[in-house]
Amino acid sequence: MILPAVPWLDRADEARLRALIDGKAKPLGALGRIEDLAVQLALIAGRPDPTADRAELLVFGADHGLTASGVSAYPSEVTAAMVATLLAGGACANAFARAVGAAVTVVDAGVAAELAAHPGLVDAKVRRGTRNAATEPALTPEEVGEALARGAAIADAAADRADVLLLGEIGIGNSACAALILHRLGPAPLADCVGMGAGHDAAGLARKRAALEQAAARSDATAPLDVLAQFGGLEIAMMAGAAIGAAAGRRPVLVDGFIGGAAALAAIRLRPAVRDYCVFSHRSAERGHALMLAAMEARPLLDLDLRLGEGTGALLALPLLRAACGLLTGVASLDDVLAGRL
């Protein structure tokens, strides 16, 4: 496995960019964190006129052996059904993507079914789902490496057609894997990482906690590659690779919620400079997400009690990136306003 290098952002122009924003027709600092976002996007682009007009959501799908231990309220077959729904344009992510003008590409990272070819589907399947992490390693080191490399390559190709890449996922059981990743890479106490996921009742949550305690007791892995191998999943590893690939291609990475955050956390632990390229879209209602954001020193743009996945939160935050770009490119200077030069 050879992952691309990711350079830290060159902040030599940061003072000049902030002076440019301070000179716009507005009070100093009046746009708060949008001003910080504008600076980040300009530094990523390497120019004072960044754009987020062309946006693409990459939705990575995979299944998890942990579902055999009762970590989800739904069977793994739902993953393939949701892939079909996304490809047909009928998922929440499709509706939100249409609302904000973003392209959608679905990636089969490891769905436990054979999927028919489709123009909107990238076949990057490493294997049909992971093994059950409660009883054995979810993936081999070679499978983790393949998932990371394929994710980086997919993002590299998408960077040729998009100014900003959004990362989303579908995969029954993946909040369980994300909890284990946060537990080890945060790090954070496992009990604080485990949430309801997609629709658990109290009994289901108890089963989920027991399965994750069994998985955590089986391995003491803390290194990022080892954690991904022990606990999965393929969509998380591939998203981590995509975050690395996007950053290497100098594209902003718009991170979704808890599952996407686990992928970003793994990517940052593998390539710390990836953090400079990440924009965190929202704080999920999923238990543990606040801890995950804190582990990455991240402040999300939105807090809407979302916990769906699919990249829906990233799509909702996309207009804020475009507005931040517009601050740099479409707002008059205060000097021009006062001199009547408009």
Calculate the alpha carbon distances from 232 to 43, 240, 245, 254 in Å: 33, 12, 19, 22
Phi/psi for 190 (5° steps) reads: -55, -40
Sign for the CA dihedral angle at 113, 119, 121, 127 comes to positive
Q: Residue 199 burial by CB count (10 A; 0-12/13-18/19+): exposed, middle or buried?
A: exposed
Q: Catalytic residue at 310?
A: yes
Which residues, listed in sequence order, are joined to residue 121 by a DSSP beta bridge?
106
DSSP assignment letter at 331: S
Bridging pattern class, strands 103-110 and 253-255: unpaired
Q: Find out whether 193 and 288 touch, Cβ atoms under 8 Å.
A: yes
DSSP state of 139: S
Catalytic residue among 35, 146, 235, 310: 310
Longest dimension (CA), the chain: 72
CA-to-CA distance for 342 and 329, rounded, in angstroms?
A: 15
Are 130 and 62 in contact, with CB atoms under 8 Å apart? yes
Spatial contact of 320 and 166, defined as CB atoms under 8 Å apart:
no
- Look at residues 126, 195, 123, 166 and name the one whose alpha carbon lies nearest to residue 264: 166
Catalytic center residues: 310
